[in-house]
Amino acid sequence: MRNIEAFEMFNKLNSQTMDNAQTLPVRVSFKIIKNKFALKAMCEPYVETRNAIISGYANGKQTIEPTDPNYAECMKKLAELDNATATVSLEKIKYADIESLELPMELMNAIYFMVEE
């Protein structure tokens, strides 16, 4: 998995589980929360590195504009970071554990990567 994929998984999972009132079996909820924390731990240094790259090329600012002379080099470094391999151990949820549940499409989409048939 690439850094950017892990980051997107975390964001999707976090947004769909923050205030979700969906009741799930404990073993399923536990694995979702465990994966969320694993992804968060992996994403924190990624975000810090990403911000440092931008700040370095943007002379201390938090954003860089396409008109900046360093823009192309900054985007190259960010692409390298995004495409670097992310190592994160994720728990799997058995499809049988959730097949009888009525889950909103957004939640199913957020947990899809951890469901195994």
User: Domains in the chain: how many in total?
Assistant: 1
- pLDDT score for 20: 66
pTM of the predicted protein model = 0.85
- pLDDT score for 12: 92
Domain hosting 76: range is 3-17+24-116
Torsion angles phi and psi, residue 101, rounded to 5: -90, 150
Q: Rounded distance, CA 9 to CA 39, Å?
A: 8
Name every residue whose Cβ is closer than 8 Å to that of residue 67 and which is 6 or more positions away in sequence: none
- pLDDT score for 24: 87
Q: Which residues of the chain have pLDDT under 70?
A: 20-21
